[in-house]
Amino acid sequence: MSEGFSGTHAAKVVGITYRQLDYWARTDLIRPSLSDASGSGSRRSYSYKDLLELRVIKTLLDAGIKLESVREVFNYLREHVSTDISSAHLVINGSSVVLAQGDELIDVLANGQGVLNVLSLAGVKHEVDAQLIPLGYDVPVAIAQ
C-alpha cells in the first residue's frame, strides 16, 4: 500500500482507538509522516515506520510507562538512534526505560545517562581462544558440562 495507512487503519493495526491516535497526533507525540491533517476534511496518512513507532508507544503505555515519560523516550530515541527504531532494544523495568545500544545500557529517562556496560560472553570466549591458539592448545568447540 504505497499511499500509506489511514488513521482508522493505523489505529486498528496498532491496537489503539482512533481517539488515542488523534490525541497523539494533535499533541505531537507522533505525527503522520506521509500526510498530516490540514483542516476540516483532510486525512492523515501514516507510513509503515509510523505504525512501528505507534506500536512501541502502545507497548510502553501497556507496560505502565506514563505518557509524559513515553514522550521523553521518543525524544531521546529520535535524537540518538540513527537506525530504524525497530532495531532498537528497550528494557522496561517498572517506571524506567533503558536502551540497549551496542555494549551499553542507557537510561533514557535519566537524560541518556549510561548505567551499565554489557559484557558479551561470546567476546570473552573469543579473547580466551585467541590466547590459547598461539600456545598450541586446541580450542573446544563447546564447553563440556
- Please state the rounded mean pLDDT for residues 108-133: 72
Q: Tell me: do 58 and 3 sit in the same domain.
A: yes
Check residue 2 and give its pLDDT: 53
Neighbours of 83 (CB within 10 A): 8
Check residue 1 and give its pLDDT: 44
Can you give the residue range of the structural domain that contains 1? 1-62
pLDDT tens-digit readout, 5-30: 999 999 999 999 999 999 999 999 99
Instruction: Report if residue 74 sits inside a domain.
Output: no
Instruction: Report if residue 80 sits inside a domain.
Output: no
pLDDT tens-digit readout, 42-64: 688 999 988 988 998 999 999 89
Neighbours of 70 (CB within 10 A): 22
- Angstrom distance (rounded) from CA 38 to CA 69: 28
CA 121 to the chain's CA centroid = 24
Q: Tell me: do 6 and 56 sit in the same domain.
A: yes
Check residue 144 and give its pLDDT: 52
Instruction: Report if residue 75 sits inside a domain.
Output: no
**What region does 92 belong to: left with phi over 0, alpha with psi -120 to 50, or beta?**
beta
Its pTM stands at 0.71
Of the candidates 27, 49, 47, 53, the one whose C-alpha atom is nearest the C-alpha of residue 35 is 47
C-beta separation of 21 from 58 below 8 A: no
Of the candidates 35, 38, 11, 33, the one whose C-alpha atom is nearest the C-alpha of residue 22 is 11
At 119, is the pLDDT very low, low, confident or very high (cuts 50, 70, 90)?
low
Amino acid at 102: G
Last residue of a domain, one of 46, 62, 78: 62
Q: What DSSP designation does 34 have?
A: S
Domains identified in the chain, total number: 2
pLDDT tens-digit readout, 91-113: 888 888 888 877 778 888 886 66
Instruction: Report if residue 126 sits inside a domain.
Output: yes
Of the candidates 106, 27, 108, the one whose C-alpha atom is nearest the C-alpha of residue 73 is 108
